[in-house]
């Protein structure tokens, strides 16, 4: 766990510059400095949460409603075919959603895949069902 301010908190506080595309009282959206594609945006809540499951349900709903709004605007501005969302959280310990403009012919990978070994899928499903 990181101690002190995260890079996103420093951006929110104006200590580190960013290329903002949207800001309101609860959210900030800015261009990713290591973009997967042109127009790759990060959407963050101004309130700090480590993981999305740490957020109250209403705030999870709000951030995805904001993401939907930004997706529509990204598509309008850049003419992309769709916007891929990514929520990882490993690189910066502050909830963030990647909004990645995509084109059907861009040849970018979707997500890494790792097929199940024979019989493994049912075992994993049983483990998941046991806690649901």
Token pair listed for 2? 């990181």
DSSP for 2-22? --S--HHHHHHTTSS---EEE
- What does the alpha-carbon distance between residue 105 and residue 37 come to, in Å, rounded to a whole number? 13
Residues in the chain: 132
Greatest alpha-carbon span in the chain: 52
SS3 18: coil
- What does the alpha-carbon distance between residue 43 and residue 22 come to, in Å, rounded to a whole number? 9
Catalytic (active site) residue 98: no
Do residues 100 and 37 touch, judged by C-beta distance below 8 A?
yes
Token pair listed for 35? 């973009």
Report, as residue numbers or ranges, the catalytic residues.
96
């Amino acid at each position: 766990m990181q101690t002190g301010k995260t890079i996103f908190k420093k951006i929110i506080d104006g200590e580190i510059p960013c290329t903002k595309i949207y800001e309101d009282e609860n959210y900030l959206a800015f261009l990713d400095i290591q973009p997967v594609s042109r127009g790759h945006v990060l959407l963050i809540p101004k309130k700090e949460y480590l993981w999305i499951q740490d957020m109250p349900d209403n705030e999870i709903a709000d951030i995805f409603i904001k993401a939907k709004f930004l997706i529509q605007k990204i598509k309008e501005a850049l003419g992309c075919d769709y916007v891929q969302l990514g929520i990882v959280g490993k690189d910066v310990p502050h909830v963030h959603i990647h909004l990645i403009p995509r084109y059907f012919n861009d040849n970018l990978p979707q997500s890494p895949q790792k097929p199940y070994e024979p019989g493994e899928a049912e075992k994993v499903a049983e483990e998941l069902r046991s806690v649901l």
